[in-house]
Copies of this chain bind each other. A is one copy, B any other.
């Protein structure tokens, strides 16, 4: 089963027609290797993508060479919804390991908007949920200490992985380098290291060779006032189906 359908049917019952429309989005496949740029900011957007395998991230470059990672993507995510308001992409998209994407032209959304109001509402909701997550990220970066931010990011990542991967335990592989984690958290790679070390001192987590193990989730949640945004959404107002 496609991981897009798997992820979406977590939220609503999909009709056969809905599934057919969604399957059409995953007709093509394309591979990208680790660290490869999928598209860069200010490039014209031809395609949206469904992630089939691997992690990627969106980021913005600043003129002085620094960058901010805006969103980390996992299999089953729909990429590019956030860019369809504009002709050109606002962020660059890069694979952080070998990935497989399913590109589809943005005009394919037409068929969904016209024929499947229920699915439209779901896509709308997902797009808008991403916004809530950006708000969390803004709060994190603007108002929290390095320690709190680190806790927040790790909890966010694991709770997203749990949505599609219900056998997920307390440990996962994170293919981002320390510098990339820093670009996500608005810290330097150096300080990410020191922060992780401090959390390890307190027996809250373990980090080794890209494997992260959360040793005390309740304590981590308390540190950063975490609230989970992925397991449930409100579908009660959706058009009947």
Contact = CB atoms under 8 A, between A and B. Distances in A.
Interface of A: 60, 62-63, 66-68, 70, 81-87, 90-91, 106-107, 109-110, 113-114, 117, 120-121, 123-132, 134-135, 137-139, 141-144, 186, 225, 229, 233-234, 236-237, 239
B70 A110 contact: no
Contacts of A84: 124-125, 128, 234, 237
A85 B134 contact: no
A115 to B, nearest CB: 9
| A contact face: mostly helix, strand, loop, or mixed | helix
Nearest to A137: B138
A131 B81 CA distance: 10
Given A70-B138, A131-B131, 7 more contacts: A82-B128, A83-B128, A85-B234, A86-B229, A86-B233, A134-B138, A141-B141
B113 A143 contact: no
Contacts of A123: 124
A33 to B, nearest CB: 26
B132 A82 contact: yes
A139 B82 contact: no
Nearest to A184: B142
Greatest chain B CB density within 10 A among A84, A113, A117, A142 is at A142
